């Protein structure tokens, strides 16, 4: 125990008789010291996580905004408060606020139907849903009962799209089986469709709308929805399911940034975002957004009733989940994508908010929540503070949880190796020479596959996704992990000594001349 802590504990013991314990327990300097030590211990315990970025605000003040560790596994550049992390679906809160602001200005009407905004679209599956009854508000609250997998895939993964193509693909929207209008079902599509409508109304890309309506008013100068603006301060994705930190080749581009998951942000900017949420639109005593607008975004609009880790999600508002944690209301939206994780949350009744960004999608996925939980428990359970002689429970609890996380991460590495070894034993069952499969294959709905040869193995690329294939012991089938950890199959359809087309997800892609 260092002298600083010993002195504080003695002071608290003396002050306890005068009723001043609670104030001392909530000492912000000590909090910063202890959570910093915990984060540093976490990165030492989990060396496969290159680094992370943290913002914590309380009572209108920034307690911590900083980066820890490094930007990537080379461990050359340190993470700092202005390092940019991809925050994935935490983007939805920004998009929803932009939509609310446009609604207040009369630019869009959240209570109008998608049919009114898309009069020229002839839905191919219109028998499955009624576009006249689905409003823009349904899109924001994930209660529309519709989905469009191909549009989402092109926007978030392949990047094979133009504004014209996206609008053409709207016609392939489907009704979700066993999901009725008004029932919550999480999907990126609602936000994607909403911002297509917002773009049509304003003539501006959604990235510009978020910048003008949200980022700039808050002076979130490092936050952007363009990957091309990340410069040298970006924390690239990693995969800790391998023994050494493995930098992923699947990296976002401008073409795969989208309104349901397309933002880079920093600890400094996240602190402002948390302050304005807790301050009902105020930042530094200035009303940036109307109070009622922020309150509306936090309303309980859709019933969820599902748990996410220790958080019991009860409802969804406009870009925010409303959950219970530590017997308190926690408003939040997290984000995840291969190699990235974002935790953004706040507790209005305690006037505290936390944002944690990591660029590692396995152990780092859980570490983001663990750091946030440590912060909340430190403030909400002062009787467990390590300041007191009779209790080390927070330090002990989270040290144990770190150990558990380390063990689970090691198990994932072993599982991954077992899986790789098992796949390596499979035999190729291609009926033709490799060069017979090489070519460009197109499907007007899903896009274009390029099949090539690399290291004497077939390589498949579809836009931003590209991977070497592995064998499947069935004739003319190959396995791909276009998205790390998620295997898909391509079936080639030979015709004599050549391949006419391939089949992917039930769709035929025909060879191009």
pLDDT the model gives residue 242 = 63
Residues 402 and 471 both lie in one domain:
no
pLDDT the model gives residue 231 = 75
Contact 460, 449 (CB under 8 A): yes
Other CB atoms within a 10 A radius of the CB of residue 258 amount to 26
Q: Which two tokens stand for residue 276?
A: 């304005």
Residue 301 lies in a domain: yes
Residue 15 lies in a domain: no
Could you give the CA distance from residue 46 to residue 23 in angstroms, rounded to a whole number?
34
Residue 401 lies in a domain: yes
Contact 481, 471 (CB under 8 A): no
The residue out of 171, 204, 237 marking a domain boundary is 204
The residue out of 204, 227, 257 marking a domain boundary is 204
Torsion of CA 234, 275, 90, 38, to 10 degrees: 70
User: Which of the residue ranges 5-19, 388-402, 416-430, 471-485 has the most confident prediction, judged by mean pLDDT?
Assistant: 471-485
Residues 218 and 100 both lie in one domain:
no
Task: Return the half-sphere exposure (C-beta side, CA atoms, 13 A cut-off) of residue 244.
Answer: 5
Give the chain's mean pLDDT.
91
Q: How confident is the model at residue 462 (pLDDT cuts 50, 70, 90)?
A: very high
Residues 254 and 110 both lie in one domain:
no
Q: How confident is the model at residue 18 (pLDDT cuts 50, 70, 90)?
A: very low
Residues 132 and 213 both lie in one domain:
no
Other CB atoms within a 10 A radius of the CB of residue 470 amount to 17
Q: What whole-number percentage of the chain has pLDDT above 90? A: 81
Average pLDDT over residues 354-374: 96
pLDDT the model gives residue 436 = 96
Average pLDDT over residues 348-367: 95
pLDDT in tens, 44-82: 999 999 999 999 999 999 999 999 999 999 889 999 999
Which residue, among 95, 91, 86, 90, has the nearest Cα to 53 in the 3D structure?
86
Residues 130 and 244 both lie in one domain:
no
Residues 88 and 100 both lie in one domain:
no
pLDDT the model gives residue 361 = 86
Residues 350 and 492 both lie in one domain:
no
Q: Please check the confidence at residue 14 and state whether its pLDDT lies above 60.
A: no
Q: How confident is the model at residue 423 (pLDDT cuts 50, 70, 90)?
A: confident
Task: Give the CATH number of the domain where residue 132 resides.
Answer: 3.40.710.10
pLDDT the model gives residue 2 = 53
Sign of CA dihedral 180, 184, 186, 189: positive
> If you count DSSP H runs as helices and E runs as strands, how many of each does the chain have, helices first?
14, 25
Average pLDDT over residues 118-128: 94
Residue 13 lies in a domain: no
* Contacting residues for 365 by C-beta, under 8 A, at least 6 apart: 336, 341, 358
Instruction: Indicate the SS3 state at residue 305.
Output: strand
Q: How confident is the model at residue 389 (pLDDT cuts 50, 70, 90)?
A: very low
User: Residue 226 sits in which domain range?
Assistant: 22-93+208-381+392-411
The residue out of 204, 236, 260 marking a domain boundary is 204
Query: By CB neighbour count within 10 A (0-12 exposed, 13-18 middle, 19+ buried), where does 477 fall?
Result: middle
Residues 404 and 277 both lie in one domain:
yes
Task: Give the CATH number of the domain where residue 506 resides.
Answer: 2.40.128.600
Sign of CA dihedral 259, 375, 222, 248: negative
Residues 404 and 445 both lie in one domain:
no
Span of 3-17, 180-194, 336-350 with lowest mean pLDDT: 3-17
Residues 215 and 350 both lie in one domain:
yes
Strands (E), 170-210: 174-175
Span of 75-84, 92-101, 407-416, 455-464 with lowest mean pLDDT: 407-416
Residues 46 and 138 both lie in one domain:
no
pLDDT the model gives residue 306 = 96
The domain tally of the chain equals: 3
Q: How confident is the model at residue 13 (pLDDT cuts 50, 70, 90)?
A: very low
Contact 245, 360 (CB under 8 A): yes
Average pLDDT over residues 333-346: 97
Determine which helix (DSSP H) or strand (DSSP E) holds 449, and give its type and residue range. strand 447-454
pLDDT in tens, 203-259: 999 999 999 999 999 999 999 999 998 778 999 999 877 655 567 778 899 999 999
pLDDT the model gives residue 483 = 86
Q: Which two tokens stand for residue 204?
A: 């501006």
pLDDT the model gives residue 488 = 94
Residue 420 lies in a domain: no
pLDDT in tens, 136-192: 999 999 999 999 999 999 999 999 999 999 999 999 999 998 888 999 999 999 999
Could you give the CA distance from residue 369 to residue 391 in angstroms, rounded to a whole number?
23
Residue 264 lies in a domain: yes
pTM of the model: 0.92
Q: Which is higher by pLDDT, 121 or 424? A: 121
Q: Please check the confidence at residue 9 and state whether its pLDDT lies above 60.
A: no
Residue 112 lies in a domain: yes
Residues 342 and 232 both lie in one domain:
yes
User: Which of the residue ranges 9-18, 359-368, 418-427 has the most confident prediction, judged by mean pLDDT?
Assistant: 359-368
Average pLDDT over residues 119-140: 96
Average pLDDT over residues 313-337: 97
pLDDT the model gives residue 213 = 98
Residue 198 lies in a domain: yes
């Amino acid at each position: 125990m260092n002298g600083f802590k010993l002195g504080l504990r003695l002071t608290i013991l003396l002050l306890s008789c005068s009723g001043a314990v609670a104030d001392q327990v909530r000492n912000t300097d000590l909090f910063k010291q202890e959570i910093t030590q915990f984060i540093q211990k976490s990165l030492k315990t989990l060396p496969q996580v290159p680094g992370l970025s943290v913002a914590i605000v309380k009572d209108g003040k920034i307690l911590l905004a900083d980066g820890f560790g490094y930007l990537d596994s080379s461990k050359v550049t340190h993470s700092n408060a202005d390092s940019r992390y991809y925050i994935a679906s935490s983007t939805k809160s920004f998009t929803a606020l932009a939509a609310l602001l446009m609604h207040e200005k009369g630019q869009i009407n959240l209570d109008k139907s998608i049919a009114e905004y898309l009069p020229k679209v002839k839905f191919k599956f219109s028998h499955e849903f009624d576009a006249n009854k689905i409003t823009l508000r349904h899109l924001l609250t994930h209660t529309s009962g519709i989905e469009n997998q191909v549009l989402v895939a092109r926007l978030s993964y392949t990047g094979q799209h133009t504004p014209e193509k996206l609008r053409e693909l709207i016609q392939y929207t489907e009704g979700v089986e066993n999901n009725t209008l008004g029932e919550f079902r999480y999907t990126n599509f609602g936000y994607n469709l909403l911002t297509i409508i917002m773009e049509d109304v304003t003539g501006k890309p959604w990235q510009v709308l978020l910048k003008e309506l949200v980022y700039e008013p808050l002076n979130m100068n490092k936050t952007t929805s363009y990957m091309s603006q990340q410069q040298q301060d970006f924390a690239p994705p990693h995969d800790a399911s391998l023994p050494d930190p493995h930098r992923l080749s699947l990296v976002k581009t401008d073409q795969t940034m989208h309104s349901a998951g397309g933002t880079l942000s920093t600890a400094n900017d996240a602190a402002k975002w948390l302050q304005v949420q807790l301050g009902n639109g105020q930042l530094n005593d200035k009303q940036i957004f109307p109070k009622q607008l922020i309150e509306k975004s936090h309303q309980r609009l859709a019933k969820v009733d599902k748990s996410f880790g220790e958080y019991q999600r009860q409802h969804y508002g406009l870009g925010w989940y409303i959950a219970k944690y530590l017997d308190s209301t926690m408003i939040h939206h997290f984000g995840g994508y291969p190699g990235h994780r974002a935790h953004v949350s706040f507790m209005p009744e305690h006037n505290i908010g936390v944002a944690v960004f990591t660029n590692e999608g396995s152990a780092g996925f859980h570490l983001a929540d663990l750091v946030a939980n440590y912060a909340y428990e430190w403030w909400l359970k002062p009787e467990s503070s390590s300041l007191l002689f009779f209790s080390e429970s927070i330090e002990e609890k989270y040290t144990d949880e770190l150990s558990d996380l380390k063990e689970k991460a090691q198990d994932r590495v072993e599982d991954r190796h077992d899986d790789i070894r098992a796949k390596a034993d499979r035999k190729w069952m291609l009926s033709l020479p490799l060069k017979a499969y090489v070519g460009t294959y197109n499907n007007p709905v899903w896009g274009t596959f390029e099949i090539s040869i690399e290291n004497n193995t077939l390589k498949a690329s579809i836009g931003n996704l590209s991977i070497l294939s592995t064998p499947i012991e069935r004739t003319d089938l190959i396995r791909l992990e276009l998205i790390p950890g998620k295997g898909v199959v391509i079936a080639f359809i030979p015709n004599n000594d050549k391949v006419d087309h391939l089949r992917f997800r039930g769709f035929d892609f025909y060879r191009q001349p």
